[in-house]
Structure 1
Amino acid sequence: MTWTIAFSLLVALPLAVAIPPPDFGFPEAPNHTELSVTYQANGNSFVVAEADLFGVDIPAKEPTVAVETASYESIATYNGSYVLLMVDPDARYPSSPNLRFILHWLQTDMTVAAQSPDGTSQLVNSSAPRVPHLGPSPPTDSAAHRYIIYAFFQHANFTFPQNFEDFNATSRTNFNLPSFLDESKLGQTPAAAMYYFASNQTQVPQDFTATAGGTYPGGNGGMITAGPGPNITSSTAPAAPSTSASTTSSSVTSTSASDSGTSASGSASQTASETGSTTRSAASASDTSDAVKLLVGSGGLVAGLISLWNLV
């Protein structure tokens, strides 16, 4: 009887799920620490929720990014700067991500504005971006791509890696994310994160939106909703991943190849056409499976179970 009561209480407790889902095999913000991301399109504001589905018009322009200081103690008590990163792990195609990662945005020295009434504190640029924002624009024959936006604590020991100085507005592909995090001393665990899907398929309206678990016109095809996707072999030894062996599949050496596979001179537009849209189908997050979410929250569940057992 006491076990039944304890189990029922634990099932009712919210589970702390990492972002992005652990089974993606990429760096993840623990304890469901969300990064607040808001896009402006067609005169409307779109606040991104995990695994939302978008057409390419919605996330085309640089978003407003904020940390939810009122929700997470680890962020509320931090007074330093942040490094912001936006990457596409599915270029050029989710089934063949030979350009992983496409670097869509890299901004250092982001400072925190005063807390707003909604409990968030906007991240403000205090220097020019290392790599300017580039909206998603995967190939028109590609399934939706995932887009992950990270905020990392820019601690005092942060140094920009010399090996990554060549990444810029026209050189974005094959960004070795784990290696960059290691060499910059940012560490493999972000302060906060958010992700969504975007699609540029011809049948998908560019202003399309759907919540997690939604479906694009024509179906979601080969969109990746669980796991990192096909393995990518790096031409050099990748940095050791921080969370799981599957992270290695995401590491690739940086090159200046264009994102969409077209000429290097048009790499800005190429990367856009390559940075595939991973439609908001939070199906990817939810498809990450309830089993995975239960596993992620297992530490809290076990602790709660022990406490409840002691009480009964």
Structure 2
Amino acid sequence: MLKIIILISISVINCVLTTEVDTKLKMESNGIVPDVIDIAPSKTIEISYPNGSKVSLGNELTPTQVKDQPSVKWEAEEGALYTLLMTDPDAPSRKNPEFGEVRHWLVVNIPGNDLAKGQVVFAYIGSGPPKDSGLHRYVFLVFKQNGKVETTVSVANNSRDGRVKTKTRDLIKEYNLGNPEAGNFYQAQYDDYVPLLHAQLGGAPPKAN
């Protein structure tokens, strides 16, 4: 019996270590380092959409699958506050990221991983990659805060105000954050839902030169 428990414990530890290595390597191999951040996190954010779709280190999802706000979980320290960011560095395309990064979601002052108790700075919007722009990377990052973040910004999910031409590195400086604690990402390209999202945001996005 003891032997079985030891073998199970070793298996669980190996699984956790493999996941941590995969997160870092996947973010590095997909260019999130250095396009978005300098150092990739080793821990993984669990992200599940209401329709059952899950984010899994670069898997391809459709804009239709990710149109609604997902549930998000990560390993949190008791008593700590966290920032959650979702960003697209590939606007209007990965080859020509003239308008990247686009800020899709930003929540600050999250106690532990209780997202519902955090302060929404940018309300969630799903993926809206332009037609024929190829795959875009949608990157989720969690940062542990050094105290409470003070901000009065509050952007609804029907507005592009302040979302375009943002930088994760600027956010890190503004909020005095360190390297991300955890991360995950998916990739998406155009489908028939995209025009509906653009209409919700007030029309088609700006075109690249």
Q: TM-score, normalised by structure 1?
A: 0.50
Q: Which residue of 2 aligns with 1:82?
A: 82
Percentage of identical aligned residues: 21
Q: Which residue of 2 aligns with 1:179?
A: 170
The structure with the largest alpha-carbon Rg is 1
CA distance in structure 2 between the partners assigned to 1:134 and 1:159 by the alignment:
23
- Per-residue CA distance 1:198-237 (angstroms, 9 max, x = gap): 11157xxx7xxxxxxxxxxxxxxxxxxxxxxxxxxxxxxx
- Name the aligned partner's letter for residue 193 of structure 1: G
Q: Which residue of 2 aligns with 1:134?
A: 125
CA distance in structure 1 between the partners assigned to 2:65 and 2:170 by the alignment:
31
Deviation at 1:158, TM superposition (A): 4.0
- Per-residue CA distance 1:34-67 (angstroms, 9 max, x = gap): 00101112xxx12221111011111110000001
- Name the aligned partner's letter for residue 184 of structure 2: M
**Over aligned residue pairs, what C-alpha RMSD do you find?**
3.0
Q: Which residue of 1 aligns with 2:104?
A: 104
**Structure 2 counterpart of 1:50, from 52, 57, 63:** 57
Q: Which residue of 2 aligns with 1:199?
A: 189
Q: Is the 8 A contact 2:28 2:40 kept in 1?
A: no
CA distance in structure 2 between the partners assigned to 1:21 and 1:97 by the alignment:
18
CA distance in structure 2 between the partners assigned to 1:19 and 1:109 by the alignment:
29
Q: Which residue of 1 aligns with 2:142?
A: 151
Alignment of 1:118-129 (within 5 A): 122-129=113-120
Higher relative contact order (CA 8 A, sep 6+): 1
- Structure 1 ranges of 4+ moved more than 6 A: none
**Structure 2 counterpart of 1:170, from 143, 153, 160:** 160
CA distance in structure 2 between the partners assigned to 1:60 and 1:182 by the alignment:
30
Q: Is the 8 A contact 1:90 1:100 kept in 2?
A: yes
**Change beyond 3 A, Cα 1:170–1:183:** same
Structure 2: stretches of 5+ with no match in the other structure:
1-16
- 2:21 is equivalent to residue 16 of structure 1: yes
CA distance in structure 2 between the partners assigned to 1:178 and 1:99 by the alignment:
15
- Name the aligned partner's letter for residue 155 of structure 1: N
